[in-house]
Every structure is written in C-alpha cells, then in structure tokens.
Amino acid sequence: MSISINPSLTVAPPSSFLSSTQGYTQGIALADPSARQWLLSAAINSTVTQPLWGGMALTELVATAGADGAGNSVELASTQANVTGFSVFNRGYNMINTPGNNVQTASAGMSLPYYRLGSNIRIPVLATAALLTAVEGNGINTQVQWDFTNQQLIPYASGTALNVKVVGVSTNAKIVNYNSGTGAVTWSTGDVAIIQL
C-alpha cells in the first residue's frame, strides 16, 4: 500500500520581489557593536512645535541647575555650528503614530533617542540628488551641509561645514516625507546618505 502526498507548494507570486533596495531606512542607525552603547535619550524641548522622527539634526541643551534629574533636552538644530547630534528611531518605543501618518513621531515633552556627534555611529539621513553626485567617488571627508528647512543633507556651499563623514549613499531607501501644511508624516522611497557622526 502506498500513500500519495501532493503538498501545497510555497511559491512567490510573479513580480512580488522586484523592488531593489539596499535596506537602508532614514533614521535607523546601522548595527555597530562598538558604537551602539552611545545611544542617548532626552526630552524634547517645549519650544519644538513640529513632530520629530529619526534622521533629524538636533541641538542638545544642558539642563538647568537642580533639574538634571530628568537629563538634558533636545530641539531642532538651526545652524551648522549648533548641530550636536542626530535623532534615530532605534529604541524609540514611546514614539507614536497619529491619524494620517504612518511614521512614528515624537513631540514636545516626549523623549527622543539620539546619538551625539563623535559617537562614530552610522545613520542614513535624507539627502538631495545633488549631494549624492557631489560625494560619489570622493573622499569620505568631503564637506557637506545640512538643510534645516527640509531636514536633509546637501552639498557644501559656503561657511561652516557639518562635522560628519559621508560613508555611503543609496538612491532607493525608505525615507520620511513631511508635509508642513497638513502635518502628515509618511514613508516613501528616495535618496539617503549614510553619515558617520
């Protein structure tokens, strides 16, 4: 006697895995056992009026005397010289999704994970196509600057350069889109630069 077995085959539907990506997501620090212990968290300053997410340039503010039990606070950086770190999604367990958004965000009073400059962590950040062209084939110490309006890395123009190294680029990464008019924060695909702090 024989038993006939005709199992259901597991197959991939045609064209279901055609998206080409290197796996980078804006604001998610790359795995690095020697730098991951430098991850910090701080309260977002009450003056911040927009939502925050991973991959944004920050300024860390020293806590007032006697209030250091809660630690320092952070706010969006406004000049190249006052960038002290970058926000990340890593361990951002309290970040929330709000109606109309599919990106987890944090707002004033909430805590935000970040890395300080000098930690050597690598973070994918939003970048312009012009930035990718400017750094490809050049040294990792090519000068760059931060666009504080659009929260993205741009080619160096003049003045103070951002104190980071560009160690890689990708044209098909998961990026954050922010519509300041509606407040919508959504995922899309686009250009990132991997910066080393």
Q: What is the DSSP string of 107-131?
A: -TTSEEEEEETTS--EEEEEB-HHH
Using CA atoms, how far residue 86 sits from 14, 64, 195, in Å, is 40, 22, 10
Question: Would you state the pLDDT for residue 43?
Answer: 94
**Local confidence band at 124 (pLDDT 50, 70, 90 cut-offs):** very high
Listed in sequence order, the residues at least 6 apart from 106 whose beta carbon sits closer than 8 Å to its beta carbon are 44, 51, 52, 53, 92, 94, 95, 96, 112
**Mean pLDDT, range 129-138, rounded to an integer:** 96
* Percent of the chain residues past pLDDT 90, beyond the cut: 74
Tell whether the torsion through CA atoms of 80, 84, 90 and 94 is positive or negative.
Answer: negative
**Mean pLDDT, range 169-185, rounded to an integer:** 92
Question: Would you state the pLDDT for residue 187?
Answer: 94
Six token digits for residue 83: 């960038």
User: DSSP for 41-87?
Assistant: EEEEPTT--S-B-TT-EEEEEPPPTT-GGG--EEEE--SGGG--EEE
Strands 40-44 and 111-116: antiparallel
* Percent of the chain residues past pLDDT 70, beyond the cut: 87
Listed in sequence order, the residues at least 6 apart from 134 whose beta carbon sits closer than 8 Å to its beta carbon are 142, 144, 155, 156
Strands 144-147 and 111-116: unpaired
The pLDDT of residue 16 is above 60: no
Question: Would you state the pLDDT for residue 78?
Answer: 97
What is the pTM (predicted TM-score) of this model? 0.87
Q: What is the pLDDT of residues 53-107, one digit of tens each?
A: 999 999 999 988 776 666 899 999 999 999 999 999 999 999 998 888 889 999 9
Six token digits for residue 35: 């730098």
